[in-house]
Structure formats: structure tokens, C-alpha cells
Structure 1
Amino acid sequence: MRRTRRSSPRLRIAPVLGLLAALLLPLCITFAPGATAAPAAADPVRVMPLGDSITGSPGCWRAVLWNRLLNSGYTDIDFVGTLPPQGCGQAHDGDNEGHGGELVTNVADQNLLPGRLAATRPDIVVMHFGTNDVWSSIAPDRILAAYTKLVTQMRASNPDMRILVAQLIPMNPASCAACAQRVVDFNARIPDWARATSTERSSITVVDQWTGFSTATDTYDGVHPNASGDDKIAARWYPALTSLLDGDAPSDPGDPGDPGGGRPSCSASFRAPSVWQGGYQGEVTVTNTSASSVTGWTVTVVAADGARLTQIWGGTLTTAADGTATVTNASWNGTLAPGANATFGFIASTPATAGTPSATVSCTARAASS
């Protein structure tokens, strides 16, 4: 794949060939009839990270995600935004649209997004937005109305926009005792909003950033992620984003005949209904978050504190050398209608020093072959 490039001028092949022809004609060297210049390479896929300080100040999960993408061969991408990088200690494409302190309701009310879209022209938006609104006790209905307005503005910028929307990471600041439950209440509303707002041409995929994320171990203040939190956030975005990158390149916004993006998508959530010394029982619920049927799913489980999955039911288990578990559906629970869910369970062994069970889970969906 090509290396990601910033906006550099394209090579002008035709004038160069004309000059070569003029130089070679005296030597009786001519070009073969019908020879044509190679077509110009396609532009990289432009990805906008959109949100508040969790995304942009410094938002080091973006650096982790960028480098994981590059190391996996996804080099034909360009992170875009009107804000520059803010450190993070590792080289990455730091352009972003994460404005510290912003409320998504203010961005919608003040029509701040259209100018930012016009300046950056994203193909995909990766959005974790609303933490400040939840902290400010703004009603979920109003936050979701702001989401809808932003999506409308994204589609006005690019009718084929692909949108990844996070269920927010947990929040438990010392100054807001009610914030933890407010996040839970708001997150519960996002999947239904996404199903109602997603279209075949401009898909919305919900990415569960809440499950398995601990404000005690993955933030430094109950709100903003530390290095462990950055790793978990990037791990959740990665399969959802690569699913879009592995599909087809974003189509030309001016071509209404291009096929849409009604691709299947799913989310996964983890809980531990039973715990004992040296192990626990885990349960993962897979939900079809798209408007199309899912005929199969794969869930990646990264258990915390050195836990290892040893037994499983409701799926087929593959375990990597580092302990990362991959679970594919069983023959009887792979087909899910929009909004439907399936559950698989497992037993995990843990070191004696392990804390409360937690795991980062991510889901990839499959559709029926056409």
C-alpha cells in the first residue's frame, strides 16, 4: 500500500511525456500508438477524530490508533482536523477536531462544525462527544438532537460519510457524584438513535467504549484517560475503523449513483456474573447495531490482569500467545436481526493478585454472501 501523504501536488505526467517526445523524435524514437499515462493514484481516506478534550487534549489514543493502523498495513489514511497534535511521545498524524471543554450541544447550536468540515473534507468521522454535556446535566434528548444535527451537517459535506459514534467512556469525577449514572443512562440511548439515523448510504456504527473501561485504573482524574485508557480506547476504535477501511474507498460525494454503506455492525458488552479466588465466569452480549441483518460475528476479548479464557459456551474460541481471545459465533446464534443480540459465556483463570474482573471486548459482524 502507498505511504500516507499529506496534500502534495499530483505528478503531472502528460507534460513530462510531451517533453520526452520532443527530445526523442530527433533520435527516431517514438511512443507506441495508444500508449497512455498511468492513472493518478487515489487520495488517502481522510479520518476526522471529533470530540472534546478526551479526543484532543492531548487525546493520545489517536497516536496509539494511528500507529496500530500503520503497523497493520493501513498506510493509505490521513487523520484530519483543524487542530494540531499536542505531543503524546510518539510520532503520529496528530490532526484532530477535539476541542477541550466543548459541548456537543454548543457545537450544534452555534453551527461550528460546517466550517471545520469544509476545511478538512473527511470521509470518516470518529466521534466521542458529549462528556461535557453529560457533566452539565443536559438531557439525553437534547444531546441526541445535537448528534442528529451534526450528522446532517456531515452528510451535507459528504453524502457518503461513514460515522463511528462512541458510547462514552465512564466518568466519575470527585466533583460530580451523579455523572457515573448519567453516562450509563445516556449510553443506553445511543444504539436506538443510531439505528434510526443510519442510512444505507451514510452508515452510523456504534462503538462501545464504556464496557471494560475503569475510571479507577484507566483515567488519571475520573474523566480523562491515562496510558492504559488510551490503549483501551484505541483497541475499541480499531476493528470498527478497519471494517470501514476494508470495505470500499469512500465514493465521490458528487456521484449519487454510488452504492451506499449499509454494512452490518455489532457491539459487544462484558460482565462477570460470578467471581471466585483464581477465576471468574464471564459473559459477553453481542448486539446487531446496524440496519441490516448479521449472519455471523467475531468478538475479540482482551481480559485484564493476566486472565485467560479456559472454557467457552455459545461460540468457538481461539487464543493467541499473548492471551487475546477470539470468539466466533456458534451455528445457532450467528444470525441477528437489527437490534437483536446473542450471548456467549466463558470461564477465565486469573492470577492470585488479579482485581475486579474486566475485559476489553470488540465486535466485527458479517453479512450474508450475495
Structure 2
Amino acid sequence: MLRFMPVGDSMTIGSAGEHTWRYRVWQHLRATLDAPFKIVGPREALHDPATDGPDSYEYAPDVDPAFPRAHLAGWGEGWHHMVPLIGDAVRTHRADVLLVSLGLIDLGFYTNARQTADNVRRFVIDAREARPGVRMVMLPVIPNVRAAEDEAFAAEVTRFNELLAAEAAALHTDRSPVLLAPVPPGWDIDHDTYDGTHPNAAGEHKLAAAFADVMHEEWGYGERYGPSPSR
């Protein structure tokens, strides 16, 4: 049985009342993956804006009750925060595939592009020490509203994404492949987010498609995501 672990920041954990891209990926894999699988991870909660903490379990009303809510994601967390956690999480939950969306928080508050890329390498090494055959799909940092307004920050995002691509290529092995997903084609912060950063329903589908399509193309998992609903 394949075990997928979503790893990420606020774009991955989601907020109360949302579906999350994690849910969209689960729906897609359940419909198209011809193999048993699980979604695993040490956390289940959503971010609650009322308390500013991971205190909500109220997903969108139409979320399937069968959805496994497990993940390793946190509001305001980045590679910097996940490096100390990933080994134990992978070992405990026997994760086979990590779906990773991190970096915006690091570049915004903690580390520059080079330091963030160094943390990517530490993350991969620690994950492999826990499970040598673990597979990883990494999403580049998607430029947000701050990048649109701050040229220096935008340049740092671009630089990190270049370094991330180089690290993914260097760290890739046949036993433990590392794939780089694309920034979702046509991503528009006015259409695909509700605040210039965090995905709305349209953005959730685009993020899910980025992960699903590269897994299909490279590993034969499921099918291509197909056209995303507009909202």
C-alpha cells in the first residue's frame, strides 16, 4: 500500500471551512490510482483564524467524511521547521511519497535562498535515513502578492526556485527519486487565491494537478488531473 504524506505551510494545512489541495489530490487518486493507498502524517487539524492556531477540524461542509485528514503542515512553517520533524514523521508513518510545498515562509522570515536550499538537502537526507526508498515531489515557491510588490523578495524567490531545481536533480536517485513539480500553469493570484497567497477552490485544483500530473508522467500513478473547475 502506498502512503502519501503532504508536507507544507499555510497553503497546505488550509484554514477552517476549506477543502485544501490535499483533499483534491485524495479525490483524484481515489478515482484514478489502480492501487491501494493511504494519506498519512502526524497532524490532522486546519488553521483556525479565530484562534490563530491549528485548532479547527471543520473542513468544507461537502468534504467526504472518508477523507483521511492526515498531514505534516503548519501555518507559518517552512523547510526551516520541517527539517527537525521529517525523519520521525516518515519513520513513524512509513511514508512512501512526500508531497512537499514549502519555502515561502523561509524566504520571507528565516533564511535566504541559499540557506533554504541547504535545508532542502538536509530534509531529503533525513527523510532517506528514516526510509531509504522514500519518493518526493517538490513544488517550487509560487510568487505571491509580496513578490508582486517587492522586487528584492521576488528575486529571492526566483533564485531559490533555481537552486531547488538544482538540488532536486542532484539528489534524485533511482531508489529514492526526487521530482520537481511545475508552478501551476496560468497561476493568477487574483483568480487562484483569496488573499494573494492562499489558494481558493480554483487554486486548490491547480496545486493538486501540479502534483498529480508529475506523478502520472514520471511514475504512472493514476491519471492526469484533467481540466480544473474554475472555482
Normalized against structure 1, the TM-score is what?
Answer: 0.51
How far apart, in 2, do the equivalents of 1:120 and 1:159 lie?
14
Give yes or no for the alignment of 1:125 onto 2:98.
yes
Q: How many corresponding residue pairs?
A: 209
How far apart, in 1, do the equivalents of 2:147 and 2:182 lie?
24
How far apart, in 1, do the equivalents of 2:228 and 2:220 lie?
26
How far apart, in 2, do the equivalents of 1:205 and 1:245 lie?
10
Match for residue 43 of structure 2 among 83, 88, 93: 83
Tell me which residue corresponds to 1:334.
Answer: none
| Larger-gyration structure (1/2) | 1
Give yes or no for the alignment of 1:167 onto 2:140.
yes
- Shift of residue 246, structure 1, vs aligned partner: 3.2
Give yes or no for the alignment of 1:232 onto 2:192.
no
Match for residue 199 of structure 1 among 159, 168, 173: 173
Moved more, 237-246 or 92-101: 237-246
Read off the aligned partner of 2:90 and give its amino acid letter.
Answer: L
How far apart, in 1, do the equivalents of 2:184 and 2:159 lie?
12
Tell me which residue corresponds to 1:364.
Answer: none
- Shift of residue 168, structure 1, vs aligned partner: 1.9
Give structure 1 stretches of 5+ with no counterpart.
1-43, 248-298, 306-370
How far apart, in 1, do the equivalents of 2:216 and 2:200 lie?
24
Tell me which residue corresponds to 2:191.
Answer: 217
- Shift of residue 205, structure 1, vs aligned partner: 0.5
- Shift of residue 93, structure 1, vs aligned partner: 2.0
Provide the alpha-carbon RMSD of the alignment. 2.7
Tell me which residue corresponds to 1:31.
Answer: none
Summarize the Cα distance change of 1:155–1:174 in structure 2 as closer, same or farther, 3 Å threshold: closer
- Shift of residue 106, structure 1, vs aligned partner: 3.4
| Contact kept? 1:167, 1:210, Cα under 8 Å | no
Tell me which residue corresponds to 1:343.
Answer: none
Tell me which residue corresponds to 2:121.
Answer: 148
Read off the aligned partner of 2:114 and give its amino acid letter.
Answer: D
- Shift of residue 302, structure 1, vs aligned partner: 5.8
Summarize the Cα distance change of 1:195–1:164 in structure 2 as closer, same or farther, 3 Å threshold: same
| Contact kept? 1:135, 1:176, Cα under 8 Å | no
| Contact kept? 1:105, 1:133, Cα under 8 Å | yes
- Tell me the SS of whatever aligns to 1:101: coil
- Shift of residue 226, structure 1, vs aligned partner: 0.7
Alignment of 1:16-27 (within 5 A): none
How far apart, in 2, do the equivalents of 1:114 and 1:136 lie?
24
- Shift of residue 114, structure 1, vs aligned partner: 2.0
How far apart, in 1, do the equivalents of 2:216 and 2:45 lie?
22
Read off the aligned partner of 1:68 and give its amino acid letter.
Answer: H
**What is the percentage of aligned positions where both structures have the same residue?**
24
User: Which fold has the larger relative contact order, with Cα–Cα distance below 8 Å and residues 6 or more apart in sequence?
Assistant: 2
> When you count strand as a share of all residues, which structure comes out higher?
1
Give yes or no for the alignment of 1:60 onto 2:20.
yes
Give yes or no for the alignment of 1:105 onto 2:105.
no
How big is each residue's C-alpha offset from its partner over 1:139-170, in whole Å with a ceiling of 9 and x where there is no partner? 11111110111100111111111111111222
> When you count helix as a share of all residues, which structure comes out higher?
2
| Contact kept? 1:170, 1:180, Cα under 8 Å | yes
Read off the aligned partner of 1:69 and give its amino acid letter.
Answer: L
| Contact kept? 1:171, 1:222, Cα under 8 Å | yes
Normalized against structure 2, the TM-score is what?
Answer: 0.80
Read off the aligned partner of 1:136 and give its amino acid letter.
Answer: F
| Contact kept? 2:209, 2:225, Cα under 8 Å | no
How big is each residue's C-alpha offset from its partner over 1:157-208, in whole Å with a ceiling of 9 and x where there is no partner? 1111111111122211499624444322321222211111112211111001
